[in-house]
Amino acid sequence: YIVVGGKPAHTLIVSPPRAGKTTLLRDLVRQFSVGIAELGFPGVKVGLVDERSEVAACYGGVPQMDVGFRTDVLDSCPKAEGILMLIRSMSPQVIATDELGGRKDIEAVEELISAGASLFTTAHGSDPEDLRGRPGLAALMEWKVFERYIFLGRSLGIGTVEKLTDRNLGSLINDKFVLRPRPGS
């Protein structure tokens, strides 16, 4: 669902606190960096702006979490500045960051889109109305930037995909399911 036309789709992961947003973001970063054999998708260069060191958990500049071997991490870097630095110097096909929202973040996303990179990001909320209440995210929704929205919750346990939608918020799945890590991942 996250590969559209052979390219990673601009994806927003939405959930209340402690429902698995950051964990899912980390796993997407790793999978797209390494490649997804089942889909015939080769790995791509990923840039990760990890402002609060929650995704890669860098220590001494080295990620302590597996984010894939094609992932460049900007640790403790403000999102907007990090996105622009990655675009200008690392030529990533995907840029990922946690908790998008500020005005500068939105301006950086405009540059990211113009540069042709895909965006994986997260936001706090439970439904589209929560997102529309935040001016920056509301603008991105109005512009239909995100090709996929993943709404997480806890109805079946932490990491429940409550809803997966397209850019028009049309549902792509009928049933909820719980994301579970694969053995060895």
Q: What is the pLDDT of residue 50?
A: 97
Residue 135 CA, distance from chain mean position: 19
How many angstroms separate the Cα of 81 from the Cα of each of 84, 152, 163?
A: 5, 28, 31
Fold of 3-154+161-178: Rossmann fold (3.40.50)
Whole-number Å distance between alpha carbons of 75 and 77: 5
Whole-number Å distance between alpha carbons of 51 and 147: 24
Digit-coded pLDDT (tens) for 21-32 = 999 999 999 999
Q: What is the pLDDT of residue 175?
A: 84
Confidence of residue 181 (pLDDT cuts 50, 70, 90): low
Domain residue limits, the chain: 3-154+161-178
What's the predicted TM-score (pTM) here? Answer: 0.93
Digit-coded pLDDT (tens) for 30-60 = 999 999 998 889 999 999 999 999 999 999 9
Collapsed DSSP state (helix, strand, coil) of residue 81: helix
